[in-house]
Amino acid sequence: MSASTFRNRDSARSLETRERILSTTENFLVQNGLDLSIRAVTEEAGANVAAVNYHFGSKEGLLRAVLEGVAGPLNQARAEALERAKAKAGVNPIPIEDIVEAVLHPYIFGPEGRENAGMIFLRIALANRVRPTDLGRALIREYLEPIAQQLLHALREALPDLSDAEIHWRYHFMISSVLATLADMEVGGRFHTLSKGECDVTDKAEILRQLVRFLSAGLRAPRGP
Amino acid sequence: MSASTFRNRDSARSLETRERILSTTENFLVQNGLDLSIRAVTEEAGANVAAVNYHFGSKEGLLRAVLEGVAGPLNQARAEALERAKAKAGVNPIPIEDIVEAVLHPYIFGPEGRENAGMIFLRIALANRVRPTDLGRALIREYLEPIAQQLLHALREALPDLSDAEIHWRYHFMISSVLATLADMEVGGRFHTLSKGECDVTDKAEILRQLVRFLSAGLRAPRGP
DNA sequence: GTCTATAACACGATAGAC
DNA sequence: GTCTATCGTGTTATAGAC
């Protein structure tokens, strides 16, 4: 490495501290959920502790900035997937399988070029079940509520036999299953341990296939008496 | 209140500090999950901060003591429910509905006289998905592993078409759904808000019915190609 | 913009008086 | 057994030098 290499790197570092903190925070969110300290993040990002407060005002400001950058592409990917399914179905109601897949695909694979954007939201949604906070509730209402309503609407049309209450129950079961399932999809996790390598935890396509099969059947269960 | 009332109360307090801390910790676990501080617990229990260390050695010792007292009745209730379902089925494989109900009932209703014993374990299992710890893993292996194997075995017999991998996938989806669903079953939670009072979050029997219907159908989904 | 130093607080654990 | 007082460590946030 020459002196100019160092100069360039340092220059880039100085100019892009904000971006490096953002991207490092994303990684922390994906891997450890909301349980991060700005000390750990800034150290990993090669920045100073005070940089977070300078650039984002507070820890909450940093989190909001991350989600702000991630929500747009994610919601767009989800909306597009649902639109594609709708177009494919034509005048008929969208098949359950297609609805479920349209919702899950962006979460599991992420929008183009942001593979873990979905996981960030899943982590936050799950963390908010374990320990609800004002911030968590606000973020969910802000970023997740619209898509939830779209999804509920599609389910109602695809499952006209079910009462509104039953739609809500099953929607909630589905989301719950996805949240807790995907939070555990890592080598050394509970699922990996229990299944003794029988299932490939890293195969996202397989996760999606199995989830779609299971959840579609659950959603289609006969209505209660 | 007479002086003797106070004396009696104080005497009882003195003698039963250990028990009061245990029971207060249970309530904290049910309501807030693993995220408790011994300061908050002892204050609520009317005991001194140092009492936890005196009686249980450490925070971990306190948690282990709570689970030790709760695991026995819970595991017994689960084993009995599964045995009843087995006896009812006779030589036939146990129907899926009965398997699911046998597993869920003790968690949702708790063993006789310990209504929230199940919720304590659910909270801990879910917390360990969000943020795995050595303690959490140890507790799960110790208290939840045996019943998991029993359940997997019953599912294999009831669903002979499925590969072992598919059994594991669906088992995991089921447990995940239950964990995240029940963590949210409270007034003001996400489900309650989203369903706008359409579903009764406090009706445990209804929760069980809906869960059994949804999960049984999911488990019974046709096997993959 | 970046850093050091520090304020202000919460936590678990423990020594030592009673 | 119970208490107070304190230690050591972690956290966010901020003041002020550079």
Closest nucleotide to the alpha carbon of A40, via C1': D11
pLDDT at A135: 86
Region B12-33: mean pLDDT is 88
pLDDT at A189 over 60: yes
pLDDT at B124 over 70: yes
Domains of chain B and CATH, by start: 1-57 (1.10.10), 67-219 (1.10.357.10)
Q: Which of residues 96-135 of B touch A (CB under 8 A)?
A: 123, 126-132
Rounded CA-CA distance B121/A182 in Å is 20
pLDDT at A4 over 60: no
**Higher per-residue pLDDT: B45 or A142:** B45
**Higher per-residue pLDDT: A5 or A146:** A146
In chain A, residues with a C-beta closer than 8 Å to the C-beta of B204 are: none
pLDDT at B4 over 80: no
pLDDT tens readout for residues B171-194: 999 999 999 999 999 999 999 999
In this complex, the answer to whether residue A12 has its CB under 7 A from any atom of chain C, a nucleic strand, is no
Chain D bases near protein CB atoms (7 A cut-off): 1-5, 10-16
Region B12-21: mean pLDDT is 80
Q: Distance from B32 to chain A by nearest Cα, in Å?
A: 7
Give A24 CA → C14 C1' in Å: 38
Rounded CA-CA distance B166/A214 in Å is 10
pLDDT at B7 over 60: no
pLDDT band at A153 (very low <50, low <70, confident <90, very high): very high
HSE (side-chain half, CA atoms, 13 Å) at A85: 23
**Higher per-residue pLDDT: B70 or A1:** B70
In this complex, the answer to whether residue B21 has its CB under 7 A from any atom of chain C, a nucleic strand, is no
pLDDT at B105 over 80: yes
- A-to-B residue pairs, Cβ atoms closer than 8 angstroms: 151
pLDDT at A220 over 90: yes
Region A35-55: mean pLDDT is 97
| B172·A179 Cβ contact <8 A | no
Q: Of A111-115, A159-163, A195-199, where does mean pLDDT reach its minimum? A: A111-115
Find which of B28, B126, B130 to mutate to test the A interface (most A CBs within 10 Å of its CB): B130
Rounded CA-CA distance B151/B79 in Å is 10
Which pTM was predicted? Answer: 0.93
| Radius of gyration of chain B measured on its C-alpha atoms | 20
pLDDT at B17 over 50: yes
pLDDT tens readout for residues B193-209: 999 999 999 999 999 99
Give percent of chain A above pLDDT 70: 93
Q: Which residues contact B47 (CB under 8 A, 6 or more apart)?
A: B17, B20, B21
| B224·A217 Cβ contact <8 A | no
Mean pLDDT across chain A, nearest whole number? 92
In chain B, residues with a C-beta closer than 8 Å to the C-beta of A217 are: 217-218, 220-222
pLDDT at B43 over 70: yes
pLDDT at B8 over 70: no
Residue nearest to nucleotide D1 (CA to C1'): B14
Chain B residues 11-50 with Cβ under 7 Å of strand D are 13-15, 17-18, 47-50
Give A37 CA → D9 C1' in Å: 14
| A129·B184 Cβ contact <8 A | yes
A164 touches chain B (CB under 8 A): yes
Rounded CA-CA distance A171/A219 in Å is 8
Region B94-103: mean pLDDT is 97
Region A23-32: mean pLDDT is 96
Mean pLDDT across chain B, nearest whole number? 92
pLDDT at A94 over 70: yes
pLDDT band at A1 (very low <50, low <70, confident <90, very high): very low
Q: Of A134-148, A206-220, B17-31, where does mean pLDDT reach its minimum? A: A134-148
pLDDT at A11 over 90: no
Report how far Cα B112 is from the mean position of its chain's Cα atoms: 14
| B179·A181 Cβ contact <8 A | no
Structure tokens at A179: 């949240």
pLDDT band at A5 (very low <50, low <70, confident <90, very high): very low
Q: Give me the sign of the Cα torsion angle A209, A211, A213, A219.
A: negative
pLDDT at A203 over 50: yes
Give CA angle at B126 (B121, B129), nearest 5°.
Answer: 135
pLDDT at B14 over 80: no
pLDDT at B13: 56
Rounded CA-CA distance A17/A48 in Å is 9
